Structure 1
């Protein structure tokens, strides 16, 4: 038995095993990962630092684990292509226009639409013939030992080398509609991607609209908080005037000063919320947090007390224009096309083939003169292919395609039901927000009257400081409630337009009185 090949294989396996190097992993579930593999230029500074931190000191006390990660060289961010004048306040339409050019949401949808269109081109290419060119070249030497030495020749040595350029053409002529079905599926997916591209713009319009009203509402809350501070300051001034007139007390001044301090805190909190809302608006638009953007306030137009509720007929008509419904319908058609393609795989295919080759060959035997030969060949073939047995591969593919088509149909029905509920909920939300705005407006009017009466009563000595402070607080709450209800009504109107597929272009407002 020859054990040399076995030993060679064992040594080779051992060598390969010894050369295998696994990347470092965390030593325990509660210990940080440390990359101890140095780069070409030396050790990572952060790796050395982490290793020093995790070393056990002489005191025996384990250090606090540090779960830091290395920094990577990120590419520089491309500058914004939109020039923004910080001195020119922009309305909602201008903000949406900037967002549509800067937001990564629309760029991702655009790339997806272009890739889906390329899928149609890939299928179209299968309808055309395929032409390929090849060049084969080689060299061969053969020795034939002779049993008898004749004329001093103990072997025949033949050498040959040559080059063969080759042109080959293949063309699938007929496949019982398999490629047509695949193209239909690709076209439906391209349609869905284009619809979802428009849907991304609708979503961006809705998101920017919502963040615009959130931000402008936050700015108006700052203004209302400042007005409330002025009202509380009026109460404090009245308390100080009564005290200097000898009819007030230090308790009244203390209570009024406390109310002023609380009003200042309300202003500070409102300013913080305004900054957060601004960052959210800039993020939705795809702008940097420090973008010099001036936002114009919305028009202070009166809101309608109510709107007509959507009927069942209007809800069902709106389904046909919702982009997600249209895209899911196209996805269903694409799955049905896949079923047709899987069924066509059981049918034969007709091929056309053609080939042309030109051969140049040189042959030499021992010391005889070299012989050169040239030849060419061409041919055309027509063939039929029909797989008879594939272990159930085509049958399983067909069943899988049918299941996917059935799932796509179920998804479409589920999406329709969800869309109906979403539109009904958006309509109800709008109705509720408008009703809240009417009630909050009435509350603001009564709270304003109550504050003026409480302040006048206190100034004349007929009221108390507690009633005056509470009236000022209630007036602020009523104004904030009216502001929030107005903002909620505008946002609800935009959401209803988005839910019904009517948000096809940017608008300054989606709700106005007739």
Structure 2
């Protein structure tokens, strides 16, 4: 046997199957803080929804489903588990290694000496040997310590990256949820506009038939109604697309039937972040998950420099071995062999001193040092990016808050104008152009109102995500109750 183990694909798949928790055996306690689900600390182990989505689908359920089952969050979770296992491997380097071996063979030895048959030999024996060896690294000029620091820093980076991924996915599914609400609201508005234009078309046709209005009034009203039908068809298609996108965020088939509540027009759209934007930027440059991940990567790179340097320094190990066998022995040439047993044992200190590595260690250390410098630049870039993201999102929220309030006033004025124009037209003192213009303005105001409300919700989610403050506990009903933390 050559020591290789050939494994069938089915057996390998069974070994890799997640039927047993990855950290079921964690003697070195490296995996004890791994979250139970891909949602991390945002959701408890039993909080992941199962079965068909509720009708109507609430934002909290949509977010929970996405955090638990989206491939991006699962990948980030797997990275944390992998890095935690790396910490365990680094801790294991402080422990001794013990190995055992056993060998059994059937030995046949024949020696024929020409012209001296008495000096020949012929024996057959079953020979066995077994042994145990010990190797314990005692001192290596900080190599193992640097390796452990590197592994711990990489684990912290993986955890921070998971937090950033959860924040990003939270924001994505929330924006898509509000997008679905917007599409639903625009569909309802398109139905209202279609009904409104149909009533105007009927009224114009009636006046034309009575000879009160010219035929052009009826044709213009009919044209606007056909445009409303066109918009209604598009709104239906946009709603299905938005629902399919939301289903995909939750790792469901896009064809799964979903139902989301409509946007409420009486929503409060006041400011929800009371602290100054400058304070937000200062906080996010130290606390945001992406900054923490970059900082941890930098610390890992620094540890890698020490680790690379230490690998070229001497090491001291405790070594030991015990072995025994039953190799037959002969007292001399031509004499018969006799059964025998033997054993060997030793214990001692082994000093390994790398004398010359062709200057490779020097360049490897320089490479690790340059990578650490590069990672330090990544930390600065992460801080710059999160500051810009917060500033941009804050300004977007400020504008969305104002537009949400402006859209309410615009809708109220447009409704009053349309009612007045409709009354004037029915009374015979108004013309069709006045009615159709106010009708189009009202349809536009309805659409702007829906988009403004959804845009305000999206802007709040975006800012909270850039601040790293998105939490499932902050969801109350359909809206977020954030306060400046």
Q: Matches of 1:490 and 1:228 in 2, distance apart?
A: 25
**How many angstroms apart in 1 are the aligned matches of 2:482 and 2:90?**
50
In 2, the alpha carbon distance for the partners of 1:218 and 1:382 equals 75
Structure 1 unaligned runs (5+)? Answer: 1-79
What does 1:59-138 correspond to in 2, within 5 Å? 82-84=50-52, 88-137=55-104
Matches within 5 A, 1:355-504: 355-363=321-329, 369-504=336-471
CA distance in 2, matches of 1:479, 1:307: 27
- Say yes or no: does 1:143 pair with 2:89: no
CA contact (8 A) 2:102 2:128 kept: yes
Give the distance between the partners of 1:230 and 1:206, measured in 2 at CA. Answer: 36
1:302-321 alignment runs, 5 A limit: 302-304=268-270, 310-321=276-287
CA contact (8 A) 1:136 1:165 kept: yes
1:91·1:298 contact (CA, 8 Å) conserved in 2?
A: no
CA distance in structure 2 between the partners assigned to 1:170 and 1:304 by the alignment? 68
Is 1:263 matched with 2:231? no
| Segment drifting more, 461-470 vs 298-307 | 298-307
TM superposition shift of 1:412: 0.4
Contact 1:306-1:431 at 8 Å conserved across structures: no
Q: Unaligned regions of 5+ residues in structure 2, if any?
A: 1-47
Deviation at 1:305, TM superposition (A): 7.2
CA drift of 1:159 comes to: 4.8
Distance in 2, Cα, partners of 1:81 & 1:505:
13
In the other structure, the counterpart of 1:219 is 184
Instruction: Name the residue aligned to 1:323.
Output: 289
Task: Give the drift of 1:445.
Answer: 2.4
- 1:509 maps onto 2:479 in alignment: yes
SS at match of 2:419: helix
- Residue 274 of structure 1 is matched in structure 2 by 239
1:131-161 per-residue CA deviation (whole Å, 9 max, x = no partner) reads 1111244536363644xx35xx387345575
Kept after mapping to 2: 8 A contact 1:217/1:484 = yes
Tell me which stretches of 4 or more aligned residues in structure 1 moved more than 6 Å: 364-367, 511-514
2:256 corresponds to 1:291? yes
Q: 1:130 to 1:156 in 2, by over 3 A?
A: same
Query: Would the aligned equivalents of 2:185 and 2:263 in 1 still touch at CA under 8 Å?
Result: no
**Equivalent position SS for 2:290:** helix
Paired residues in the alignment total: 430
Matches of 2:334 and 2:471 in 1, distance apart? 86
Q: Which moved more, 1:218-227 or 1:88-97?
A: 88-97
- Find the counterpart in structure 2 of residue 43 from structure 1: none
Partner residue of 1:156 out of 120, 133, 151: 120
Alignment partner of 1:361: what SS?
coil
Counterpart check, 1:351 vs 2:317: yes
Whether the 8 Å CA contact 1:493–1:511 is kept in 2: the answer is no
Cα 1:505–1:131 change in 2 (3 A) is same
Shift of residue 296 of structure 1?
A: 3.0
Q: Can you list the C-alpha shifts for 1:4-47, whole angstroms capped at 9, x where unaligned?
A: xxxxxxxxxxxxxxxxxxxxxxxxxxxxxxxxxxxxxxxxxxxx
1:69-126 deviation per Cα after TM superposition (whole angstroms, max 9, x unaligned) = xxxxxxxxxxx9712365x423211222222333222222221111110001111111
Change (3 A) 1:512 1:301: farther
Structure of larger gyration radius: 1
- Contact residue 305 and residue 435 of structure 1 kept, 8 A: no
Whether the 8 Å contact between 1:301 and 1:512 is mirrored in structure 2 is no
Cα shift at 1:509: 1.9
CA distance in 2, matches of 1:447, 1:513: 34
- Cα distance in 2 for partners of 1:157, 1:294 equals 92
How far 1:413 sits from its partner (Å)? 0.3
Q: Hey, what does 1:166 align to over in structure 2?
A: 131
Contact 2:400 2:459 in 1 (8 A): yes
Paired residues of 1:306 and 1:434 also in contact (CA < 8 A): no
3-state SS of the aligned residue for 1:319?
Answer: helix
Q: What CA distance in whole angstroms lies between the structure 2 residues aligned with 1:143 and 1:369?
A: 12
Cα RMSD (Å): 2.6
CA distance in 2, matches of 1:394, 1:250: 92
Give distance in 2, aligned partners of 1:241 and 1:207.
50
**C-alpha offsets along residues 444-473 of structure 1, whole Å, 9 cap, x if unaligned?**
222223222322332333332122112211
| Aligned-partner Cα distance in 1 for 2:467–2:53 | 35
